[in-house]
Structure 1
Amino acid sequence: MRYRIGAWALTSWIVKIGKETPQHWGFARDDRFWDVREPGSFRKIEPGDNIFFWLSGSGFTSWVRATSSLYVIGAQSRPAHWIDVATGGYTHRFEFELVSEDVAHPATWGELQQAAGRNYAPPAPANPVAEPAAEAFLRARFGGHTDIAFTTVPVEYSPGDDMRDRAVRQITLRRGQARFRNSLLVAYGNTCAVTGSTVTSVLEAAHIDRYFGDHTNHVTNGLLLRSDIHTLFDLGVLTVSESRTVQLAPWLRDTEYADLHDQPLRVPSDPAGHPSAEALARHRQTCEWL
């Protein structure tokens, strides 16, 4: 069951870590993925879903947000470090980003059931959480986080607005588009389209046509960019040519960004996720130096 908070359709999950393998959370935190033997309910996990890891016999350990759906582990997949990886029989994987592992308010399974107003079965490998009260209870267990997924900031846009004047506002809003960012992380393989950086924590979702409604949150209207490149793109001093090469404003070509000029843009392997040529053309039109 999916429910809504504001404009977002959400599902949360409790994923169990076996008490015999408590080390697995540390491996998962470092690798940013979780492997499973049987797909089961894991097949329903979608990018943007909140996942709360529960260590059997101890309680909650962490809160993460899925950045991919479940997929089959292949020959090219990154190696896992599970202590039973040689005999584990892992077949599927989903990826995530860390929200918090600061368990400020520990809770028992019974307290979760009381908050939800229903009886949950003992933790299965993946338990969906369908009650908003239970979701709120789970979030409240954790400190040290900023919930970027549900920021609600009104954005007004009229055709012809000066994009440069809007850039500063866009820079502050970018982290509010969590699901859009997650779709780009998946499409671009967690890699900056311009620099090739794979440091997920500094990769951001850049709208090509400026954001003016949820209908623009489509992967073809976005680029996955390192934070500083995103800023340059929003300010209109970096753009993409018709032949999909990076173009820098003349005054940036003698800076540390010089090597990026005329370099090919990295695009998703799936052509359906390639950036819109029309949107890129409109972005170029805002760059007066070009």
Structure 2
Amino acid sequence: MSDHTAWLALAVSGKRHHGSNDGYDDLPSAHYSWDDTVPNSRAVAVGDIIAVWDRTVLLGVSVIEEITTSSATKRLHRCPTCQKSKIGERDSLTPRYKCYDCKATFDTPASRTIQVTTYRSRHDAAWIDLAGALSGDQLRALCLSPKSQLSLRPLNWTAFTHVLAHDTAAVLPERLLNATQDRLAGGHTHATVRVRIGQANFRRALLQSHGPVCTFTGPAPEAVLEAAHLYSYAEHATHDADGGMLLRRDIHRLFDLGQLAINPDTHTIDVGPPASCYDEYERLQSQPLHHPPTPGQAGWLTEHWHTHRAAPSESHSEHKRHVEEEA
């Protein structure tokens, strides 16, 4: 994926706020908002990689599935003394604001309202949680312009993936990102958004069919069981009755990351790194599912296997032997 455009996007859970404006409503794992007053606003495109951070650490990585545009009014705030926009809101000091250009402090900034074009990405389908894997200083250094202060700045994707692979314990399932980009290239930009409609009913139906049982680990409290889509990254637009299974929350997350998968030849669990380093998950290796997959489920599980396994024919034991030989 080295030839793909990647962006480092600044976001903070809740409302992203700056002293010079009233902020943006972001949910890092699902959507990101900006407008045409932001440099690079028109350069971001569907299919681009987005890496989200909060100034301190990396939060996660995904592929932009959709960008919706609209128009809105926006209030811009300035220093009443020098009319510059480099002002900040102070949490505990008074006056409330400080200008970082002329050093003036004040409670009420000078404000004006302008018309802007707004942009909002959707990127929840391929979201990979990498919270804390890289520090803010590391991320700044990996930008094409390391000294940039922009909220949306071009990221050196080749350098980013190299550092992530060699200097951290994080696993980046690039095949998942590739699969999402391939689907977008085929024109299916809305599929993954649509499948989320009716999620509560989907989970209820699975509970009625199978009871409170994690398909991978067995009986579990209903509160920790989630309805996992087996076709999250496929071209599908409805809740397929054969396209889901109940998984414990931690199992669901590892399944989405591809660290747990189902061998399509044996229909048994295959545990990949780094989950295989933990006894709780390693003991699942080669275990059968608690509910044998239907033919429809088997098809989706095969798609999942080929998306997340670099060498689909390589078994867990073969992979482990290769790792030991390299060590």
Task: Calculate the TM-score normalised by the size of structure 2.
Answer: 0.34
Task: Calculate the TM-score normalised by the size of structure 1.
Answer: 0.37
Structure possessing the higher radius of gyration over alpha carbons: 2
